[in-house]
Amino acid sequence: PNLAGVRVTTEDGKVQSGFTTKIYKSVAEAPQKVQDYIKAKGLKIDGEFAVTTADDPVAYTNNYVLKGINLKLVFPTTVKKEIKEASKYDNRAYQIDFTGIHETNLVTNNIPKINPKKDVVATVEDGQKDQNSLNNKTVKVGQVYNFELETSYLPANRGQAIEKMEVRDKYSSLVEYNGVHKWYAKTDILLKNGQKLAKGTDLTKFVNQTVDHKTRTVLYSFSSAFLNSISDNSEFQATGYMQVKQLDYGTVKNTFTEIINGVERNSNTVTVVTPDKPKTPDKPQTPPETPNTPEKPQTPPTPTPTPVVPTTPKKPVTPKVSLPSTGEATNTGAALTGLAFAATALSMLGFKKRKEEE
Shared domain for 9 and 138, answered yes or no, is: no
Q: Specify the pLDDT at position 200.
A: 95
The full DSSP string for 243-276 is: EEEE-SSEEEEE-EEEEETTEEEE---EEEEEPP
Q: Specify the pLDDT at position 125.
A: 81
Q: Specify the pLDDT at position 2.
A: 83
Q: Specify the pLDDT at position 309.
A: 58
Shared domain for 48 and 137, answered yes or no, is: no
Shared domain for 263 and 130, answered yes or no, is: yes
Shared domain for 11 and 156, answered yes or no, is: no
CA distances (Å), 216 to each of 173, 187, 257, in order?
7, 30, 14
Residue 356 included in any domain:
no
Count the domains in the chain: 2
Query: Where a domain ends, among 245, 274, 303?
Result: 274
Q: Specify the pLDDT at position 209.
A: 98
Q: Specify the pLDDT at position 142.
A: 95
The full DSSP string for 40-78 is: HHT----S-EEEEEES-HHHHIIIIITTT--EEEE----
In the chain, the amino acid numbered 1 is: P
Residue-number span of the structural domain to which 246 is assigned: 117-274
* pLDDT tens by residue, the chain, 358 residues: 788 889 999 999 999 999 999 999 999 999 998 899 888 888 888 888 999 999 999 999 999 999 999 999 998 887 776 766 677 888 889 888 888 888 899 988 877 888 999 999 998 887 778 778 999 999 999 999 999 999 999 999 988 899 999 999 999 999 999 999 999 999 999 999 999 999 999 999 999 999 999 999 999 999 999 999 999 999 999 999 999 999 999 999 999 999 999 889 999 999 999 998 767 777 777 766 666 666 666 766 666 666 655 555 555 555 554 444 444 444 444 433 443 433 333 334 344 434 444 4
Shared domain for 166 and 266, answered yes or no, is: yes
Whichever domain contains 215, its CATH number is: 2.60.40.740
Give the helix/strand (H/E) hosting 220. Answer: strand 217-222
Query: Where a domain ends, among 92, 111, 130?
Result: 111
Shared domain for 264 and 132, answered yes or no, is: yes
The full DSSP string for 287-333 is: PPSSPPPPPPPPPPPPPPPPPPPPPPPPPPPPPPPPPPPPHHHHHHH
Give dist(CA 36, CA 33) in Å, integer: 5
Shared domain for 245 and 127, answered yes or no, is: yes
Shared domain for 106 and 129, answered yes or no, is: no
Query: Where a domain ends, among 111, 143, 163?
Result: 111
Residue 42 included in any domain:
yes
Give the helix/strand (H/E) hosting 346. Answer: helix 327-357
